[in-house]
Amino acid sequence: MYEEYWGLKEKPFENTPDPKFFYSSSQHEEALARMLYTVREFKGSGLLTGVYGCGKTLLARALLKELQKDVYKVAIINNPKLDELEMLRMIAYNLGSYDLPTRKADVLIKLETIFKENLMDAKKTVIIIDEAHSIEDNNIFEEIRLLLNYQLEEKFLVTILLLGQPELKEKIENIKQLNQRIAMRYHLTSLNQKETEEYISHRLKIAQAKQNPFLPEAIQLIYQHSGGIPRRINHICDTTLLSAMGAELKTIDKSFVQEVMESFSL
């Protein structure tokens, strides 16, 4: 809606996990490197936690972009609020099996077949479970642990990455058998002020902006109000760009950002 006014090819602050907008802060780069290592070196399982809106899902998409499609078979579960059988069937479905049995034992047999066939085809099997903190049934965590039993003497047949909010870490730690299987752990925090400035500039650049309309004082206020959380930064910047177009502004200062946040209760 405001793209033409600001000379943009697309909206730069959409809260969608588009990997081309991935901003490599030091911690996001470290998280991506650790996840890649876990997958490429057959480490079995990894745990990524972070506060709401800090970029976990976008990191998962950036990870997918890094993985070669001809080497990896990846299942992404975005809504894990399922029972244990539904979870197993969803994993099998996302790995490309569409004629699924209904009995749990048969689903497990199907999954083992998928893992072994992928191995024979020189492909690595990866399961990414996003929003894993929303899993309420410990039986599901037990099924996840048992999937790691599919392995050869020297490597796992499947790599499982669990992504979620900070409470996921406590849930995993309370399940000793699963906790012991976690080979990689990383926790994402918010961006600092310098990173927030770079983040805003990066997203505008990807959208092919000719200049950054946010003055330094405006960015400082955005950082203070958002706490450096990317999702909040996006919301404030998107709303402000729309409002500034309506006000026919060419630059955005601190007072205008403050006015927008108060008007829209941001």
* Confidence band for 81, pLDDT divided at 50, 70 and 90: very high
Over residues 203-216, the mean pLDDT reads 97
In the chain, what percentage of residues exceed pLDDT 70? 100
Tell me how far apart the alpha carbons of residues 163 and 169 are, in angstroms, rounded to a whole number. 10
Which pLDDT score is estimated for 125?
97
Which pLDDT score is estimated for 70?
81
* Confidence band for 60, pLDDT divided at 50, 70 and 90: very high
Which pLDDT score is estimated for 107?
97
Whether the predicted pLDDT of 68 surpasses 90: no
CATH code, 26-188: 3.40.50.300
Dihedral sign from CA coordinates of 97, 98, 99, 101: positive
Q: 214 burial class (0-12, 13-18, 19+ CB within 10 angstroms)? A: buried
Q: At what angle do helices 26-40 and 56-66 cross, to 10 degrees?
A: 50
Which pLDDT score is estimated for 266?
86
pTM of the model as a whole: 0.94
Tell me how far apart the alpha carbons of residues 111 and 97 are, in angstroms, rounded to a whole number. 9
Tell me how far apart the alpha carbons of residues 115 and 174 are, in angstroms, rounded to a whole number. 28
CATH class as words, domain 3-16+191-263: mainly alpha
Q: Say which residues have a Cβ less than 8 Å from residue 19's Cβ, sequence separation at least 6.
A: 58, 61, 62, 64, 65
Which pLDDT score is estimated for 264?
92
Q: Which amino acid is at 143?
A: E
Quote the mean pLDDT of the chain.
96
Which pLDDT score is estimated for 119?
94
Please write the tens of the pLDDT for every residue from 16-48: 999 999 999 999 999 999 999 999 999 999 999
CA-CA-CA-CA torsion for 195, 196, 199, 200, nearest 10 degrees? -150
Please write the tens of the pLDDT for every residue from 151-199: 988 889 999 999 999 999 999 999 999 999 999 999 999 999 999 999 9
- Domain residue ranges in the chain: 3-16+191-263, 26-188
Strand partners, 10: none
Whether the predicted pLDDT of 138 surpasses 80: yes
How many Cβ atoms from other residues are within 10 Å of residue 176's Cβ?
Answer: 9
